[in-house]
Amino acid sequence: MSDTVRQLSPTKLWNHFADLNQVPRGSKKEERVIEFMVNYGKSLGLDTHKDETGNVIIRKPATAGMENRQPVILQSHLDMVHQKNNDTVFDFDKDGIKMYIDGDWVKAHGTTLGADNGIGVSTIMTILAADDIQHPDLEALFTIDEETGMTGAFGLKGGVLNGKILLNLDTENDTEIDIGCAGGLDVTATRTYKPEKLDHSDCIGLQIGIKGLQGGHSGVDIHLGRGNANKLLNRILYNATSAGMRLASFDGGSLRNAIPREASAIAAVTTENKEKVLAQIHKDMDYIRKEYQSIESHIELYVNETTVPEQVLSVADQQQMLAAIYTAHNGVFRMSPDIEDLVEASNNVARVLIKDGELKVMCLSRSSVESSKLDVAHSLEAAFGLAGFETTFTNGYPGWTPNPNSPILNVLTSLYEKMYGEKADVVACHAGLECGILGINYPELDMISYGPTIIGAHSPDERVSISSVQKFWKFTQEILKNIPEKG
């Protein structure tokens, strides 16, 4: 399967991607991919080192005739989001990604593909190894843990890099040139409860769940109105409690930066209330199917009898907890009044876990405006506080303020129009990019972000366009040829 990907053009880039996808590289588990990249740089005879945080920096001198151009930093992150379908047997800590070709797309079997940001990494690897590409002095910066905390970008010290221009190869639409992004903040609400022992003599156990949603990137895709499995299941449970259902557990979502695709719960009902509860559940399921029929064509809502749980939440606790989750904002919070079609602020109710006396709700709030980001976070804190939760804010990172007068932006827009006969879309995105963080210690860097077309990032539906990678590769080579001279 992956062998057919190796035959794609440009072959060196795709072979580097296939090699990279054999190395486990989940966020905060990058030891093997760091070693892989250090060994790669040294194998080329290039100046290679790893900093204290784990970032890998590889330097390559300018090609003949390009020594007087401004030095360039090529930057991508080494980690990838680990997501798989529940029925996919796969160990991200051991197995290599199983890729295949479907028309113009490279996909993975039941897991995330790692094109985010593996194509960027592979592109830089190809440039480092090439002897036929014109370029100025290069610094390849491979950061770690971009997906779950931007740890690599935060840990990069000032004075390490010499480049004046930074090309971040981490956006996902080949018609766009990105000059800004949103900041983010992890919002976590926790509470304890005292489980009640259930009288099994007249009870039936129910498993209630939702699966088959598209999911996706909680920044890039948040405006598309896709179903959030946690919120939809909570809606069903909230209404079922009024019909007599007793909740035992709830397990939904996974990573903060992925829109939840699946969620399930275990509950109990008495034989007396069974038909009334089931009728309410099926009624809500029908509503949800109709509401999302044009967006979520593969949605599956199910309710099955199962073993009766030993313990459930008290009526008061389940009402408070489900009400809090119902109240928690999910989706677009505010559109930008200054940039057309840009989501300014949003929230993703990413993970819900109710089990063994503990409840945790994990969210990722984003905004391109710092005060707006805090407004989202405080609205969540207020909602959860009414139900007795303790809410903490962690892993905050800043946005990247757009600079429409960027010199490197002028280079890219001019080249794009010359090469493709149309203007590129100059945008700011709602995803988190490392540029804003890198700019803290390197405020004079002229930064830009661009990349090939990737759809479904952070989900098992992730795919990258083959023709777009070819376009991206040619564009990158032309950019390096046209870097301005030193001022």
At residue 120, φ and ψ (nearest 5 deg) are -60, -45
Cβ atoms within 10 Å of 326's Cβ, excluding its own: 14
Q: Are residues 363 and 416 in the same domain?
A: no
Q: Are residues 276 and 220 in the same domain?
A: yes
Residue 486 is assigned to a structural domain of this protein: no
Compute the distance between CA of residue 308 and CA of residue 447 in angstroms, rounded to an integer.
57
- pLDDT tens for 144-154 read 999 988 999 99
Range of the domain at 60: 2-181+399-481
> For position 1, what pLDDT does the model report?
56
- pLDDT tens for 277-331 read 999 999 999 999 999 999 999 999 999 999 999 999 999 999 999 999 999 999 9
DSSP of 96-147: PP-EEEETTEEEESSB---HHHHHHHHHHHHHHH-SS---SSEEEEEES-TT
Task: Note whether 128 and 12 are within 8 A (CB).
Answer: no
Residue 292 is assigned to a structural domain of this protein: yes
Q: Which of 397, 430, 448 is a domain's end point?
A: 397
Q: What is the pLDDT along the chain (487 residues), one digit of tens a residue?
A: 578 999 999 999 999 999 999 999 999 999 999 999 999 999 999 999 999 999 999 999 999 999 999 999 999 999 999 999 888 999 999 999 999 999 999 999 999 999 999 999 999 999 999 999 999 999 999 999 999 889 999 999 999 999 999 999 999 999 999 999 999 999 999 999 999 998 878 999 999 999 999 999 999 999 999 999 999 999 999 999 999 999 999 999 999 999 999 999 999 999 999 999 999 999 999 999 999 999 999 999 999 999 999 999 999 999 999 999 999 999 999 999 988 899 999 999 999 999 999 999 999 999 999 999 999 999 999 999 999 999 999 999 999 989 989 999 999 999 999 999 999 999 999 988 999 999 999 999 999 999 999 999 999 999 999 999 999 999 999 999 999 999 7
Q: Are residues 166 and 107 in the same domain?
A: yes
Residue in 79, 176, 221, 446 annotated catalytic: 79
Q: Which of 376, 397, 418 is a domain's end point?
A: 397
- 485 in helix, strand or coil? strand
Q: Are residues 368 and 243 in the same domain?
A: yes
Q: Are residues 381 and 429 in the same domain?
A: no
Compute the distance between CA of residue 280 and CA of residue 240 in angstroms, rounded to an integer.
6
Residue 313 is assigned to a structural domain of this protein: yes
Residue 370 is assigned to a structural domain of this protein: yes
CA 401 to chain centre: 20
Residue in 30, 137, 145, 146 annotated catalytic: 146
CA 294 to chain centre: 24
Q: Are residues 92 and 106 in the same domain?
A: yes
The answer to pTM > 0.85 is no
Helix (H) or strand (E) segment spanning residue 384: helix 370-385
Q: Are residues 434 and 383 in the same domain?
A: no
Residue 427 is assigned to a structural domain of this protein: yes
Active-site residue flag, 390: no
Active-site residue flag, 417: no
When divided into structural domains, the chain yields a total of 2
